[in-house]
Amino acid sequence: MKSVEIQGNLRTEVGSKYAQLERKAGNVPCVVYGGDAPIHFSAPVLTFKTLVYTADAKIAKIIIGDSKIEAVIQDMQFHPVTDALMHIDFIQLIEGKPVTIDIPVVVEGQSKGVLNGGKMKMIMRKLSIRSVPGSFPESIVLDVTPLTIGQSIRVSDVSAAGYEILNAGTAVILTVKNARGAVKEDGEDETEGEAEVAAE
């Protein structure tokens, strides 16, 4: 997994008042959990550009003074109106200690169903996984080439190597739905919604 270096400043004064002052100064308040005690720090908002706004999961190498900490994002908060990044919670990576993170789903290929006029619907854009440091994938790549109209990829269809997927196995990640003007090939199944309508 690739990493992004974050040059942070230790925050000794915490609370909503001081967090607001950090934001006004163009910084993002952050907390690192998972070590002996939470570490509060801040860094300029532009520092997080390649860590937050990316299709891949990445490790943050946080430098605070003489200390270096490897961590992954656990949670983020954005402004409800401006969508500006307001706060990040990190979980520290400790060798041999499993952590839970969200990994983005990346689609590869062109499905047969879409080529025949169907429409692909992405339901889950990230999967929650649990693993020890060093075994995290940057993304979970799904080949949708074989999918025809009415077919789906579920969590149970994903091959996990070196990590555990925590989402329910029956959860649908993506599906190819029928659309007006679509041409079904012989043997293609109806979608669940179409089957229900036909039954009624």
Q: Where in the chain are the domains?
A: 3-93, 101-199
Phi, psi of 154 (to 5 degrees): -105, 170
Which pLDDT does position 147 carry in this prediction? 94
- Distance, CA of 180 to CA of 165 (rounded, Å): 35
Does the domain at 101-199 match CATH 1.10.287.110? Answer given as no
Please give the Cα distance from 91 to 74 (Å, whole number): 6
Which positions of the chain have pLDDT values less than 70? 181-200
Partner residues linked to 70 by β-bridges: 61
Tens of pLDDT, residues 166-199: 999 999 999 999 877 666 665 555 444 344 323 3
In terms of residues, how long is the chain?
200
Q: What is the pLDDT of residue 192?
A: 46
Percentages helix, strand, coil for the chain (3-state, rounded to 5) are 15, 40, 45
Q: What is the pTM of this model?
A: 0.76
How many degrees, rounded to 5, is the angle at CA 66 between CA 64 and CA 69? Answer: 55
Reported CATH class of domain 3-93: mainly beta
Provide the pLDDT for residue 36. Answer: 86
- 8-state DSSP, 46: G
Predicted pLDDT at 162 = 86
